[in-house]
Amino acid sequence: MKEITRLNNHGFVLAETLIVSVFLVAIFTMIYVNFYPIIGEYEKRENYDDIDGEYAAYWIKKLIEDPNFNISQQEKESLNGEKQYFRFKCSDFLENSPQESLCINLVKSLEIDCDDNDDNGSNCQIYVTNYRIGSGDGTVPNSFKKTVSNAPKSEFSNDFKEYINYLPDYKNTSIDGAKYRVIIVTHHTKGYNDYVTYSNIEVKREW
Amino acid sequence: MVKNKLNNKGVTTIEVLISFVLIAIIANSLYSTISAYNDRRIIENYKSEVLTYKNTITKTIQDDFIKIGLSSVNYNKTYEDYSTIYQVDCSLKDGTARRLIITQKYTKSDTHPNGDPHNDDYFMIEYGQPDLTKTNADDQNAKLIEYPIPDIGSYAAKFENEKTGKNAMDLVISNVLIDLGNNSSTKNNNVLSIYIGFYHPELSTRYSINIVSPINYIQSSTRG
């Protein structure tokens, strides 16, 4: 028996072309929508733990490690309690001591983000937390990450929340035996700039 | 016997035109997308160059201030032949000295009308151990390491009736601020702050070198 092949040479009809086009557009839109936020995320991370922020955090860490820096009972309870942090203040040094004066100048020179009317480094965005900041698998009841995530916008900005969420939990203990961590927010205004960076460093101190 | 019924009439003018229009639309949209990403790639390359430069200088200077310690600082600013020269002399705790020299010289252009009409842009950061046994400044600075700012584009700047353009760099040192803490509320010269701001048409003023260090910082050994 001889085979008879009949080819359909009519091509696609308009409906077929339209359906395929719509399908392709939907796929490309989905790819673009998912890909674009990755670029934004990368741009945000340019402001995380940059070299200036790390050196700024280093000098704040040196101040915290100074034996003359002593925290109040209330700050201790805040650090070990539900909040898991306290805010660093230059007034935690002895009043009119060289350390207090250095602290005030350093906070100003490092452009740490402070309240507008704060001239003595007492209301700045310098957070002292425990070394481990996340609860990980839920084995730790309180964590700084949890505090920040549940806090209202008035307490922590969305950008700060995103930075804290980006950081690891630091579940493993420090090889240097550090028990605490300092997290700083720097507001760069020199040279007509206006941008904020975030950094952190571990602190070796006993309280 | 195989019987093929082929349509051998070819494509019509309308079909060809529609195809060309569709290809032109797709090519145009792809071109603008790829062109935007290419621009982005170039800007990222600029950022990378500036960040490498900034990180190298910051680390070199901060290593000395952290590992050895800064005991005192002298600073002066001079103007010489259209150049602004900032010189920071640091004494370290091991008795050695470090010198940082920032030179800022603009060619004459529309953006810098008071610049030098005869020379190209010149920006230089020098840092190292000066030879203080010599009396002449050039001899003292002979061993300083030069860190020329990265060349990421330039243009020929012409001004008024100048016939030949001078080489104006895209990346320039736009702003230098040096402070010893005496402008703060405590008026104590206990913190050195050096800000070297860069300007680039694509990056604006976003990138800079920021060196901050306490002067003669001694951590307390006993609890107060």
Q: Which amino acid is at B181?
A: G
pLDDT digits (tens, 9 = 90+) for A130-160: 999 998 767 778 899 999 999 998 899 999 9
**Would you call B83 an interface residue with chain A, using a CB distance cutoff of 8 Å?**
no
Pairing of strands B166-169, B154-157: antiparallel
- Domain contains B153: yes
Task: With a cut of 90, say whether residue B224 has pLDDT above it.
Answer: no
- Domain contains B24: no
- Domain contains A120: yes
- Domain contains B172: yes
Q: Are A39 and A105 found together in one domain?
A: no
Mean predicted confidence (pLDDT) in A90-104 = 90
Q: Do B5 and A6 touch (CB under 8 A)?
A: yes
Mean pLDDT, chain A, rounded, equals: 89
**Would you call B13 an interface residue with chain A, using a CB distance cutoff of 8 Å?**
no
**Would you call B1 an interface residue with chain A, using a CB distance cutoff of 8 Å?**
yes
pLDDT digits (tens, 9 = 90+) for B45-104: 999 999 999 999 999 999 999 999 999 999 999 998 889 999 999 999 999 999 999 999
- Domain contains B222: no
Number of domains in chain B: 1
Give the contacts of B15 (CB within 8 A, at least 6 positions apart).
Answer: none
* Nearest Cα residue in chain A from B54: A51
pLDDT at B223: 44
- Domain contains B124: yes
Query: For residue B213, which of B124, B88, B56, B51 has the smallest C-alpha distance?
Result: B88
* Cβ(B203)–Cβ(B47) below 8 Å: yes
Number of domains in chain A: 2
pLDDT at B222: 47
Q: Do A190 and B197 touch (CB under 8 A)?
A: yes
* pTM for the structure as a whole: 0.85
Measured between alpha carbons, how far is A184 from B45 in angstroms, rounded to an integer? 29
Pairing of strands A126-130, B154-157: unpaired
* Nearest Cα residue in chain B from A196: B206
pLDDT at A21: 87
Q: Are A82 and A41 found together in one domain?
A: no
Q: Are A37 and A70 found together in one domain?
A: no
Q: Which two tokens stand for residue A11?
A: 């091509």
- Domain contains B18: no
What is the ipTM metric for this complex? 0.84
Q: Which residues of B touch A108 (CB under 8 A)?
A: 184
Q: Whole domain around residue B205: which residue ranges?
A: 33-214
Q: Which residues of B touch A193 (CB under 8 A)?
A: 197, 205-206, 208
- DSSP conformational letter for A7: -
- Domain contains A5: no
- Domain contains B39: yes
Query: For residue A58, which of A178, A206, A191 has the smallest C-alpha distance?
Result: A178
Q: Are A30 and A117 found together in one domain?
A: no
Of A3, A4, A104, the CB nearest to B186: A104
A148, β-bridge pairs = none
Please give, rounded to a whole number of angstroms, the shortest distance from the CA of A34 to a CA of chain B.
16
Burial of B64 (0-12, 13-18, 19+ CB in 10 A): buried
pLDDT at B118: 84
pLDDT digits (tens, 9 = 90+) for B140-153: 999 999 999 999 98
Q: Are A63 and A139 found together in one domain?
A: yes
Q: Are A39 and A107 found together in one domain?
A: no
Task: With a cut of 80, say whether residue B184 has pLDDT above it.
Answer: no
- Domain contains A29: yes
Mean pLDDT, chain B, rounded, equals: 88
3-state helix, strand, coil in chain B (%, to 5): 25, 35, 40
Residue B59 Cα to chain centre, angstroms: 15
**Would you call A190 an interface residue with chain B, using a CB distance cutoff of 8 Å?**
yes
Task: Work out whether the CA dihedral A48, A49, A55, A59 comes out positive or negative.
Answer: positive
Give the contacts of A137 (CB within 8 A, at least 6 positions apart).
Answer: none
- Least confident interval from A80-94, A181-195, B42-56, B154-168: B154-168
- Confidence class of residue B114 from pLDDT cuts 50, 70 and 90? confident
Q: Are A177 and A89 found together in one domain?
A: yes
Would you call A202 helix, strand, or coil by DSSP? Answer: strand
Q: Which amino acid is at A168?
A: P
Tally the C-alpha atoms within 13 A of residue B105's C-alpha that lie toward its C-beta: 22
Of A94, A102, A190, the CB nearest to B191: A102
Q: Percentage of residues in chain B with pLDDT exceeding 70? A: 89
Q: Are A63 and A155 found together in one domain?
A: yes
3-state helix, strand, coil in chain A (%, to 5): 45, 15, 45
- Domain contains B79: yes
Q: Are A53 and A34 found together in one domain?
A: no
Q: Are A27 and A112 found together in one domain?
A: no
Q: Whole domain around residue A19: which residue ranges?
A: 11-45
Mean predicted confidence (pLDDT) in A106-131 = 90
Q: Are A38 and A55 found together in one domain?
A: no
Q: Are A115 and A152 found together in one domain?
A: yes
* Nearest Cα residue in chain A from B188: A101
Mean predicted confidence (pLDDT) in A42-58 = 93
- Domain contains A1: no
Q: Which residues of B touch A5 (CB under 8 A)?
A: 2-4
Q: Do A110 and B212 touch (CB under 8 A)?
A: yes
Cα angle at A63 between A169 and A191, to 5 degrees? 85
